[in-house]
């Protein structure tokens, strides 16, 4: 069980550490000094990572082999990411004008919802987790209910650990940056979110 848990921790850390939509959202929220909200974003992301890994184990990846379902989920997820990215860009502009900050991460509850929705916007990752657990079974890391549970728990904990570290690090950097740099970070995060949404749409269309 210990080996399965450590393997899960490594997988969770590795997946969360990849620069992606939630990475950007968590980082820019922490840079703005909203550490609690950034941690909530990370908690939302880790929760979805854990749930999607569970679905991968349960065989939900087989459902996503249906082209029509895969296309609907992929395009829907792309639209969600683009919408969040557009709001982030709008937030950067409003902050530059001295207006209120965006509502999506203005409170812990709102940030948690955003983290959940943004991470869930790419349900095709269930297929990746299904492949991971197939490999884990072959490597005799998840051969029983206990080792599978340990692997799943490790994935959730590893993902949460990464986002916690990211939020803490960015919250330290934020106060050292000027308002112009923070606005630029907001703009880059917004463009990045839109870019990831576009990439998901392109991949979905290509696989359809």
Q: Using one digit for the tens of pLDDT, what is the confidence trace for 65-121?
A: 777 777 887 788 888 888 888 877 777 666 544 444 455 566 788 889 888 888 888
57-81: pLDDT as tens digits: 777 667 667 777 778 877 888 888 8
Phi-psi region of 185 (alpha: psi -120 to 50; beta: other; left: phi over 0): alpha
- The rounded distance, in Å, linking the Cα atoms of 158 and 79 is 28
Whether residue 78 contacts residue 198, with contact meaning beta carbons closer than 8 Å, is answered with yes
Distance CA(104)–CA(91), nearest Å, equals 10
Residue with token string 């921790």: 9
Cα dist from 42 to 21, 23, 52, 60, 202, whole Å: 11, 8, 15, 24, 26
Provide the token pair at 67. Answer: 């082209």
């Amino acid at each position: 069980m210990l080996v399965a848990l450590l393997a899960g921790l490594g997988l969770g850390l590795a997946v969360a550490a990849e620069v992606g939509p939630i990475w950007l959202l968590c980082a820019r929220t922490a840079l703005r000094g909203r550490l609690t909200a950034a941690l909530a974003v990370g908690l939302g992301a880790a929760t979805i990572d854990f749930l999607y890994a569970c679905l991968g184990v349960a065989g939900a990846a087989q459902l996503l082999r249906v082209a029509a379902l895969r296309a609907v989920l992929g395009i829907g997820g792309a639209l969600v990411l683009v919408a969040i990215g557009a709001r982030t860009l709008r937030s950067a502009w409003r902050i530059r004008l001295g207006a209120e900050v965006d509502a999506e991460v203005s409170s812990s509850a709102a940030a948690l919802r955003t983290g959940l929705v943004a991470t869930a916007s790419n349900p095709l990752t269930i297929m990746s987790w299904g492949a991971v657990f197939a490999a884990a079974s072959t490597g005799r890391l998840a051969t029983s209910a206990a080792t599978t549970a340990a692997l799943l728990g490790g994935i959730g904990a590893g993902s949460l650990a990464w986002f916690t570290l990211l939020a803490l690090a960015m919250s330290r950097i934020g106060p050292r940056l000027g308002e112009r740099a923070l606005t630029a970070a907001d703009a880059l995060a917004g463009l990045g979110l839109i870019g990831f949404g576009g990439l998901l749409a392109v991949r979905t269309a290509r696989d359809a």
